[in-house]
Structure 1
Amino acid sequence: EANRQKRKLNFLISQTELYSHFIGKKVKTDEVENSTNDVSVSDETTRPGPANANTIDLPDSVANLDTKVTNFEDLDFDAEDETALRQVAMANAQNAVQEAQDRARAFNQDPNGENKMSQFDDGEMNFQNPTSLQTMDVSQPNMLTCQLKEYQLKGLNWLVNLYEQGINGILADEMGLGKTVQSISVMAYLAEVHNIWGPFLVIAPASTLHNWQQEIAKFVPTLKVLPYWGNAKDRKVLRKFWDRKHITYNRESSFHVLVTSYQLVVQDTPYFQKIRWQYMILDEAQAIKSSQSSRWKALLGFHCRNRLLLTGTPIQNNMQELWALLHFIMPSLFDSHDEFSDWFSKDIESHAQSNTKLNEDQLKRLHMILKPFMLRRVKKHVQKELGDKVEKDVYCDLTYRQRALYANLRNKISILDLIEK
């Protein structure tokens, strides 16, 4: 049974690696990171096809597998050889790629039946044509009031590529490298270049809400921000901005970006789920690391074209958290939580402890799966682009009450007496 579970997990990882390979060839994460690591999948797994094809050609042996094999009872992991299992995994990966394309294409279709972003569905922006990105160069939006650093501009290119493929991603730059301004620049790009003025949804910890509002107003004053917080009565008034029939989003719209907290988005989930969000940005995305949390489940139900996760914390070695992340960015592919959990159940995990190298290899593969969807730069890699660190001492006068408390402490008054006073 332990060997069967190993083969099942290997199947899950293989199909996701193949999916990552197909997408990774398109979004070029390695080029942005200047990294030499890549998923170990041979280029021979695909064949060149016609320029305007909508799918990736597969070997003839799996060409007729046009549906995903999600019922693992249909696969005999004891009898099937590795080649057959890999062929099924490849077919699953191919269909997941097609689903991502179809989902983005369907979202782009407006109520009048006009495809506003049809240019992203033609041969030049198709998964069949990975060479198209080699000449694609996204420049900084004119409406952005700051000057992006070179690595931030590369990040913008990467994020735009993800968006145009209908793929979700994780921007995991180290704290202080400008994840906020890079994500804001994507919204500016969509508005300026493709006339997509939202609605955009930014969800962040309550302590950073005002900062998000100020940063958007500072860097892209053209975008109107709706600060969605306050008590229930206040929020009811704010919902009038979007709770209207046939609302359209253009430069003159009442708002383009809605900023709110994780707590409020869970409380008001039914209202948020009514909206078709063009882009959902989750700041401090470690807040959704638990697949059992109400916020994780609520956010999965939001109708949005793309999801972008921002986090300065690298992916941890907790397998359940890793699955939650994989499912959130690739729900149509990495959806077998029960199968994933089976391998990491106590009995199997205990059995595997005798072979730690196997676990380490699997963990490495799981992290490699994320590579095309996660961009991370650290300060030491972009040190030349960072300005000199300037430290300023800012003196603040104490209030009357603070001065009294401070004086009493200096006089060594007892804590009890201090509290009573």
Structure 2
Amino acid sequence: MTPPSAATPSDIAELSRCTAVFLPGDPARTGRVAFWRPDGVPPSGPATGSAEELTVVVPVDGTDDGPHDDPTGPSPTGLAVETHTVRALLLPLGEALPVLTRARARAAQTGPGQCDPATAFWGAAAVLALQLAARGRLLPGLSATDHDAWRVGPLTPDDLTRVRELAAAMPPTAHATPLPVSGPVLLPEPERHLRAFLDAVADGLPRSPAAALASGGPSFAAPAPRRLPEQRSWAADVAAGHDAGVRLSIRIELLHGGGGNGKADGPRFRAVLQLHSLTDPALVADAAEVWAGTSPITPALGPRARMDALLTLRRAARAWAPLTPLLSAAVPDALDLADEEVTELLGPAAGALDAAGVQVHWPRELARGLTARAVIGPDGEDEAQDDTGPRFPAFLSADALLRFSWRFAVGDQELTRAELDGLAEASRPVVRLRDQWVLLDPDAARRVRDRQDRKLTPADALGAVLTGRTEAEGTDVEVRATGWLEALRDHLADPEGTAGAQRAPVPQPSALAATLRDYQLRGLDWLVRMTSIGLGGCLADDMGLGKTITLIALHLHRMGIPEAAGPTLVVCPTSLMGNWRREIERFAPGTPVRRYHGSARSLDGLDDGEFVLTTYGTMRLDAQRLAEAGPWGMVVADEAQHVKNPFSATARQLRTIGAKARVALSGTPIENNLSELWAILDWTTPGVLGTHGAFRRRYAQAVESGSDPEAAARLAKLVRPFLLRRRKSDPGIAPELPPKTETDRAVALTKEQAGLYEAVVREILAEISGTGGLVRRGLIVKLLTGLKQICNHPAQYLKEDRPVVPGRSGKLELLDELLDTILAEGASVLVFTQYVRMARILEGHLAARGVPAQLLHGGTPVARREEMVRRFQDGEVPVFLLSLKAAGTGLNLTRAGHVVHYDRWWNPAVEAQATDRAYRIGQTQPVQVHRIIAEGTVEDRIAAMLTRKRELADAVLGSGEGALTELTDSELAELVELRGTER
């Protein structure tokens, strides 16, 4: 098609509010979409569009005295209409498609008030066109002027229904350009106009830059029109059957007794041709009746029914040759079928006919085909039970094999091996079995009979029974579980245990210094159930729902179970290590915790109940040492999307560390494709999703392409037990949360930051010593300001003109982690800093990462501020950088579900005012506030005052930096001392 749209997000937002109308062209791909505003203001858009005058028809109420071109008077419906000339922006169809589809999405999200109905309509039409093209519903042909052109087709009855329903919903303004005829004003007929648009999209899509090379020539591949009058006959032949006003089907009849073919040992088969109405598929008649004119539905089929039927039949005969004699028959009513022809219809011939628009219907009295299903379960000697029912084995043990055995049935009757042998040895496609005729392909029966029982690992078996299907010997078969595997499937089918009212949930550990919310208790219960039977899982709750505290509770619970006890290894990004340590010390006081990081890292004296915190980088370097330090009671991968590439060194090394249980934490388990989900779950429970190649083939490719809607449902059944995902918007979750959740996120300084910090502390404390009055106060403010800037980023303190930004600030690393998660959830975020210089550093850094962001500060003009607010509220820019003083008041930014305070303000009321830009009347979603604190620094000390010494905090922080200038030398040194947190 044409090159990608040059429209910016601002252009798309502007054009979404305009009225859109489609202007057909010849060939179809040259059609354009015109955007115009009812208020007469010329719309703005990309430079590739052309501004032109457009004649449109608009309804009037009889009181409009404004300018118009041609009052046409009352319409047949009693409404008056007029033709107006408006200034419009015309876009080529390829560039208009992104505008239309996003307008449709915008209308779905925000309601009809934020998007013009006509534009939203053409957006829905664009989506339908793209879906048809993705399914391969494209036909080559010629336009009215003999140019090469693609169009949509052949359309199924369901497709036709969708087209007609959409056409019926077309707003008047969507086809408001009058037809070029004399006399009364006529508008395009909606369904014809919609079909022209669908054909225009179809005509452009296959014409990529490489299409001509792939097809061997420019026809039907290059964008430039090519006249092919010599292909008119061929084009008419391609269209034969697809443009017919009727649909054909073949009804197979069973003729009992001997006769025609000399076979007295079974029934004969006959194919009867039937005609269906396209407008009402329930109207059907035999071809013999239509040709004789005796069918009561003949008028409904239309005057061209016979010709249309012959056109379709000619196409069907090319797909399956036995139909050819009907083309020369006086009445193409029916033909007798030989056994081999019946066998062909049981196989690929039926598919070829269906592609040609002809379906095959078999008699109901026949038991149709042979079905096979697999029964998977333990051998009898492997069954183990106790008083509570089946006992699950250690699931990840390699020797816990299960039996995979075959069962065969006709209809709902299971066959014996002797009966199966009889079917396999049959010479005809119809066999008598248990007082009924069975229709089958004998070759297929022989292949089925030769299938052998085999053994499966528990992980492979569980994946099969959870979906109810598996692939065996290249065939998709039904699966049934038995024994403890059946009980395990039922156990996993209800991840949060809500259906098992008779089973008491796991109580909160008594050592946990907090009260878990209801949904957190359910998450704990799920993790306990999974890990207790040797299975892992991924806790994928939204950010801010308490994944960390739930994991701490799980650790404490497992400490009370001797067979589960052991140290817990937490692998996380460097920026989260400080937060993990704080949370453990806060919610599990007395639980030993160590950082395995830095040059002095050690695993000596590891305690069973201990938490060991390490980073992905350190784990990758020391994987063998960590593996040998086991057995680990549990290994936790926090922000598990870090191992989403299963072939990366990080992912491979993580797999080498054994544990009794593996748990992944991630708010975004899928960022780009389903292989990332496979990588995470194949680590938590190896083998449960099959090999990576099989997973891509059976699920990922079909789901990502949209080619198999059922694949997504099958994958959901398989994944659901191993991934617990709760969103803030889920019923029963958001009511459990406070309207605003505030979290302090601690990060360590980099070595560069720590060195700068200590040097500034030494230098300025030496200057302060012995001074007094205003000089002393000024030096203290200088010290505190410098330290805060160092905590933010060395480049801010050093006032570097062209700084190297990545890798130098713990805060920046955490901000990147937060933004990746927030944007992956489709949310928006405000990022506050009190320093404009720091905001500009962030702006440049995010631009380099390709993260859409905008910056508002004190120098931003009022008009520009209003435009920036509108763009943020409209969802055009998801990250809004703001200086605290300039944006702390007077702005309504309720689209934000997250607020990040990159640095701390001394007065909490100022921070609260900034947070209230998002948390205010009109906010409809929970707000998560993230305060980033440099661990072990003056920021850390001030934050601690807020919780430990409220009275002192009110006195100090409520007055800002001024109160800190009154501290003694020893108090000041205590406040600013750096306490060993560098990485």
TM-score higher than 0.5: yes
Question: For 1:19-47, what per-residue CA distance to the aligned partner results, in whole angstroms no more than 9, with x for missing partners?
Answer: xxxxxxxxxxxxxxxxxxxxxxx9x9889
The Cα of 1:150 is off from its aligned counterpart by 0.7
Correspondence for 1:150: 518
Q: 1:194 to 1:134 in 2, by over 3 A?
A: farther
Q: Aligned-pair distance for 1:129?
A: 8.4
Q: Which residue identity does 1:198 align to in structure 2?
A: G
- 1:383 is aligned, of 713, 728, 734, to 734
- Pair 1:304-2:684 in alignment: no
How far apart, in 2, do the equivalents of 1:202 and 1:170 lie? Answer: 14
Q: Which amino acid aligns with 2:738?
A: G
Amino acid at match of 2:515: Q
2:627 equivalent among 245, 270, 273? 273
How far does the alpha carbon of each residue in 1:141-178 deviate from its partner, in whole angstroms, 9 at most, with x for none?
11000010111111111110011111010000000000
Aligned counterparts of 2:551 and 2:624: Cα–Cα separation in 1: 26
**1:214 aligned partner:** 582
- Structure 1 residues 291 and 187: CA distance shift in structure 2, 3 A: same
Distance 1:127 1:167 in 2: 11
Which one has the bigger helix percentage?
A: 1
Partner of 1:290: 645
Matched residue, 2:715: 366
* Alignment match of 2:406 (pick from 52, 61, 64): 61
Q: Does 1:240 align with 2:585?
A: no
The residue identity in structure 2 corresponding to 1:287 is H
CA RMSD of aligned residues (A): 4.6
The superposition leaves residues 67-118 of structure 1 with CA deviations (integer Å, 9 ceiling, x where unpaired) of xxxxxxxxxxx969998999979x637575699xxxxxxxxxxxxxxxxxxx
Describe the shift of the 1:80–1:297 C-alpha distance in structure 2 as closer, same or farther (beyond 3 A): farther
Distance 1:173 1:338, change over 3 A: closer
Q: Contact between 2:406 and 2:453, CA under 8 Å: does it hold in 1?
A: no
Q: In the alignment, which residue of structure 2 is the partner of 1:177?
A: 545
> Displacement, 1:293?
0.6
Shift of 1:367: 3.6
Pairing 1:92–2:441 present: no
Letter in 2 for 1:361: E
CA drift of 1:267 comes to: 0.8
Q: Give the distance between the partners of 1:163 and 1:156, measured in 2 at CA.
A: 11
Tell me which amino acid in the other structure corresponds to 1:378: R
The secondary structure found in structure 2 opposite 1:137 is: coil
After superposition, the C-alpha distances for 1:192-241 in whole angstroms (9 at most, x for unaligned) are 4558542111111000001101111110113110111112xx02xx2323
- The structural deviation recorded for 1:357 is 4.2
Determine which structure has more spread, i.e. the larger CA radius of gyration: 2
Report % sequence identity. Answer: 28
1:121-147 residue CA offsets vs partner (Å, 9 max, x unmatched)? xx9xx7498498841321111100001
Secondary structure of 2:707's counterpart equals helix
Distance 1:322 1:363 in 2: 13
Q: Hey, what's the Cα distance between the residues in 2 that align with 1:214 and 1:325?
A: 26
SS of aligned partner of 1:145? coil
Give the Cα separation in 2 of the matches to 1:357 and 1:85.
35
Indicate the residue corresponding to 1:313 in structure 2: 668
Shift of 1:284: 0.3
* SS of residue paired to 1:152: helix
Contact 2:462 2:688 in 1 (8 A): no
Match status 1:205 vs 2:205? no
Measured after TM superposition, the shift of residue 258 of structure 1 is 0.5
Opposite residue 157 of structure 1, the aligned amino acid is D
Q: Secondary structure at the match of 1:222?
A: coil
Does residue 228 (structure 1) correspond to residue 596 (structure 2)? The answer is yes
8 A Cα contact 2:664 2:680, kept in partner: no
For 1:356 and 1:220, the matched residues in 2 are separated by 46
Can you give the 5+ residue segments of structure 1 that lack an aligned partner in the other structure? 1-41, 63-77, 100-122, 243-248, 406-412
Is 1:263 paired with 2:617? yes
Q: CA deviation at 1:331?
A: 1.8
Contact 1:281 1:308 survives alignment (8 Å): yes
- Conserved? CA contact 1:54–1:127, under 8 Å: no
2:603 is paired with a residue whose SS is helix
Letter in 2 for 1:226: R
Q: Secondary structure at the match of 1:239?
A: coil
TM-score (norm 1): 0.59
Aligned length: 304
Residue from 178, 185, 188 that aligns with 2:556: 188
The question of whether the paired residues in 2 share the 8 Å contact of 1:143 and 1:192 is answered with no
Aligned counterpart in structure 2 of residue 330 of structure 1, from 685, 688, 703: 685
CA distance in 1, matches of 2:633, 2:506: 19
Secondary structure class of the residue paired with 1:380: coil
**1:195/1:338 Cα in 2 relative to 1: closer, same or farther (>3 Å)?**
closer
TM-score of the two chains, using structure 2 as the length reference: 0.27
Residues 386, 61 of structure 1: alpha-carbon distance in 2 compared, 3 angstrom cutoff? same
Q: Which amino acid aligns with 2:682?
A: H
Q: Any idea what SS the aligned residue of 2:675 has?
A: helix
Output aligned runs, 1:103-118, within 5 Å: none
Taking structure 1 as reference, are residues 201 and 364 closer, same or farther at Cα in structure 2, changes over 3 Å only?
Answer: same
User: Which structure's residues are more often strand, by fraction?
Assistant: 2
